[in-house]
Amino acid sequence: MTPLGYFTLMSAFLFCTGIYGVLTRRNLIGILISIELILNAANINLVAFNKYLGSSDGMGQVLALFVVAIAAAASVVGLVLIIAIYRNAKSVFVEDFNLMKE
């Protein structure tokens, strides 16, 4: 059986990679993908801690499914916003537009 520490280490690596991607990416789609990495790290933690420390009701898996559903909805909304911004600014790079000035 795989120890819990391996799952938390993998989750921490995914989380740090997602944070690094959010802070350094210039492309809006790359930022959205990095946010998905952060949410997947949370899902790994939910399922792993439920398996090792939780009860047999599977609440960690249920919460992970809710996170996946919310992440899918957020991705759809984010992609729609990116398409709307692209139509107006003709770019998906963060530094090419500033919506607050217009």
Cα distance between residue 34 and residue 46, in whole Å? 19
pTM of the model: 0.81
> Where residue 91 falls among pLDDT bands split at 50, 70, 90?
confident
Domains (range + CATH), the chain: 4-96 (1.10.287.3510)
Lowest mean pLDDT among 31-35, 40-44, 66-70, 86-90: 86-90
Tell me the DSSP string of the chain: ---HHHHHHHHHHHHHHHHHHHHH--BHHHHHHHHHHHHHHHHHHHHHHHHHHS-TT-HHHHHHHHHHHHHHHHHHHHHHHHHHHHHHHS--BGGG--TTT-
By the 10 Å C-beta count (0-12 exposed, 13-18 middle, 19+ buried), 67 is classed as: middle
Residue 1's pLDDT is 80
